[in-house]
């Protein structure tokens, strides 16, 4: 089998790049380890930067997002029983975010690839990117027990944090930077009316909580939990009771509870691998970097990688100009690190750290007081939250 771009991973990064390239007549094949149903069953991101939304429209898959996604022009931070409003629109001169579930946008991308005959091969095993530093890289994999080979001009490693692409780079050619946080997020999805039309981030002495949503009939709530417990240790009742304790009274009294339709614990980690290119393989999205979900940057950082890669590929194939490919890693990482800084800062600001000293707690309170009393600090938060320019 032969294609121009061999993409490992059929998550949002791989599918979005494949669809964008298709619109420009550039051929790709996507290799995905799991079934489509499995990929669509993962409940993850929900807050899209306006730049990401524009990229979806450019890929010709923005219609459902625009019709069903919710434009959010602000959110609240609850602290000390008070709610502080972050007016994203006012603070950024008109920008906002769109709340639209990752599963929905992935479905839109799958549908678009299917409609146009795009090659997305599910259920592949033993995927291996090979000959990466040659002009003829290829990917080997097994499908239904049969060994296959995909020859391509370039390989994109978009196979998430646990994928094979990053691991195929020799250890002395890649540097990894990591911070692991001593807690996770227990998330519950429920078919209940969201307690607030916009997101509420809550900082509380019992731990962080987030009231989020996917639509006005589908709520997504999170609480910070120790990693010593498993999801089985949390009954729905225990989750709702703990969430209520962490929210201001005017919010908890309005909270509609119901059975969870999905419940999971996500550990929190900051991670970046540098560089994001090895020979003719380019890493994109979670394969190269992950953030704690606090600042809603993960999927959005993946989108900026795709934006740079897409333009680099266009320049290569349409103009014979390789500057974009040469500069990809440097350009992508510059934005990735800004997303890392913001996610780390939001995480440090809003969570309880079991081992922190009195000094660190005082600094955290001062950071919050400063934020709520300074227009400049609020502007910086809003500018990062809606997404820095690509």
Q: Which residues bind ligand FAD (CB under 6 A)?
A: 8-14, 31-34, 39, 44-47, 102, 124, 127, 158-160, 163-164, 187, 266, 285-286, 293, 296-300, 302
Nearest approach in angstroms of CB 14 to ligand FAD is 6
Dist CA 161 CA 285 (whole Å): 9
Look up residue 234 and give its two tokens.
């949390």
Q: How far is the CB of 46 from ligand FAD (least distance, A)?
A: 5
We find the least distance from the C-beta atom of residue 127 to ligand FAD, in angstroms, to be 4
Structure tokens at 243: 């969430």
Q: Distance between CA atoms of 200 and 223, rounded to whole angstroms?
A: 12
Residue 276 vs 371, nearer CB to ligand FAD: 276
Q: How far is the CB of 128 from ligand FAD (least distance, A)?
A: 9
Interaxial angle between packed helices 323-350 and 298-314, expressed in degrees from 0 to 180 and rounded to the nearest 10 = 170
| C-beta closer to ligand FAD: residue 69 or 163 | 163
Tell me the three state secondary structure of residue 289.
strand
- Give the nearest distance from C-beta 162 to ligand FAD in angstroms: 6
78 or 109, CB closer to ligand FAD? 109
In the complex with ligand FAD, which residue's Cβ is closer, 119 or 266? 266
> 132 or 158: whose CB is closer to ligand FAD?
158
Provide the minimum distance between the beta carbon of 17 and ligand FAD in the complex, in angstroms, as a whole number.
9
Phi and psi at 351, nearest 5°, equal -105, 160
Q: Which is nearer to ligand FAD, 35 or 253 (CB)?
A: 35
Beta strands in 11-160 (DSSP E): 28-32, 47-49, 70-72, 75-79, 82-86, 97-99, 119-122, 125-130, 138-143, 146-151, 154-157
Describe the chain by its helix, strand, coil percentages, rounded to 5: 40, 30, 30
């Amino acid at each position: 089998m032969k294609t121009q771009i061999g993409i490992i991973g059929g998550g949002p990064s791989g599918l979005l790049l494949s669809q964008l390239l298709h619109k420009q007549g550039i051929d790709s094949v996507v290799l995905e380890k799991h079934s489509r149903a499995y990929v669509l069953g993962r409940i993850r991101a929900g807050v899209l930067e306006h730049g990401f939304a524009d990229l979806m429209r450019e890929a010709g898959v923005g219609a459902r997002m625009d019709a069903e996604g919710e434009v959010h022009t602000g959110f609240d931070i609850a602290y000390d029983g008070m709610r502080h409003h972050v007016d994203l629109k006012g603070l950024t001169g008109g920008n906002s975010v769109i709340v639209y579930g990752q599963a929905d946008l992935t479905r839109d991308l799958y549908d678009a690839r299917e409609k146009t005959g795009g090659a997305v091969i599910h259920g592949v095993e033993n995927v291996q990117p090979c000959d990466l530093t040659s002009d003829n890289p290829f990917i080997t994999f097994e499908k239904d027990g049969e060994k296959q080979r995909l020859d391509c001009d370039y390989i994109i490693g978009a196979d998430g944090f646990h994928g094979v692409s990053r691991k195929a780079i020799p250890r002395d050619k890649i540097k990894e930077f990591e911070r692991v946080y001593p807690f996770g997020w227990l998330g519950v999805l429920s078919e209940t009316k969201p307690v607030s039309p916009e997101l509420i981030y809550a900082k509380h002495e019992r731990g962080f909580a987030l009231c989020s949503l996917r639509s006005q009939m589908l709520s997504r709530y999170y609480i910070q939990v120790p990693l010593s417990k498993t999801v089985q240790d949390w009954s729905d009742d225990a989750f709702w009771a703990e969430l209520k304790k962490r929210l201001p009274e005017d919010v908890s009294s309005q909270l509609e509870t119901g059975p969870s339709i999905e419940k999971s614990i996500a550990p929190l980690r900051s991670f970046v691998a540098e560089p994001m290119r090895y020979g003719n393989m380019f890493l994109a999205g979670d394969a190269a970097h992950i953030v704690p979900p606090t600042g809603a940057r993960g999927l959005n950082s993946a989108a900026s990688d795709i934006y740079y890669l897409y333009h680099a590929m266009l320049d290569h194939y349409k103009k014979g100009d390789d500057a974009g490919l040469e500069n990809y890693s440097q350009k992508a990482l510059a934005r990735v690190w800004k997303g890392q800084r913001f996610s780390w800062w939001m995480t440090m600001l809003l969570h309880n750290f079991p081992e922190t000293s009195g000094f660190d707690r005082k600094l955290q309170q001062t950071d919050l007081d400063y934020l709520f009393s300074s227009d400049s600090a609020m502007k910086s938060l809003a500018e990062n939250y809606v997404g820095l320019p690509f």
